[in-house]
């Protein structure tokens, strides 16, 4: 009986500690969805959404450009080489958007999205959704 009470107290303390850690980290780190070999992984940390997509570099780059067009953002610049592309755009309220696309392998591409100075998780998620729809 005493062991059960000690376990209950320990469990309560552990839950409280984990809850405190979540409160402290809210806004700093949000991890969502995982899949085989990293493809499909999405992480929002420090104002930037990072996603690994199981698609080729060129097709993700084209999809990102289509997403910017479909969301009616104003494209400011685009630079691209064989391994990395950076797409810069602005929203109607002049918020800066930067989409960085990096070739990891022939079938795995990393996408990093930052909206504004401090990031905007909702807008970043919307951009990623449009990129995925355009693939």
This prediction has a pTM of: 0.71
Share of the chain above pLDDT 90, in %: 70
pLDDT tens by residue, 27-48: 444 333 333 344 678 999 999 9
Sign of CA dihedral 32, 34, 39, 40: negative
Q: Do 47 and 78 belong together in one domain?
A: yes
Q: Do 12 and 67 belong together in one domain?
A: no
Q: Do 90 and 127 belong together in one domain?
A: yes
pLDDT tens by residue, 81-124: 999 999 999 999 999 999 999 999 999 999 999 999 999 999 99
Q: Do 50 and 84 belong together in one domain?
A: yes
How many structural domains compose the chain? 2
Average pLDDT, integer, range 72-84? 97
Q: Which residue range is the domain that position 45 belongs to?
A: 33-134
Q: Do 45 and 91 belong together in one domain?
A: yes
DSSP assignments along 37-97, one per residue: GGTT-EEEETTEEEEEESS-HHHHHHHHHHHHHHTTPEEEEEEE-SSEEEEEEE-TT--EE
- CATH number of the CATH domain containing 52: 3.30.160.690
């Amino acid at each position: 009986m005493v062991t059960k009470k000690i376990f209950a107290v320990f469990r309560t303390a552990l839950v409280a500690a984990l809850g405190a850690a979540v409160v402290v980290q809210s806004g700093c780190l949000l991890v969502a969805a995982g899949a085989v070999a990293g493809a499909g992984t999405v992480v929002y940390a420090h104002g930037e959404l990072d996603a690994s997509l199981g698609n080729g570099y060129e097709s993700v780059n084209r999809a990102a450009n289509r997403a910017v067009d479909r969301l009616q953002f104003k494209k400011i610049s685009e630079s691209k080489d064989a391994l990395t592309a950076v797409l810069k755009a602005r929203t109607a309220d002049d918020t800066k958007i930067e989409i960085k696309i990096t070739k990891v392998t022939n079938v795995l591409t990393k996408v990093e999205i930052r909206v504004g100075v401090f990031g905007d998780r909702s807008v970043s998620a919307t951009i990623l959704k449009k990129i995925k729809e355009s693939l």
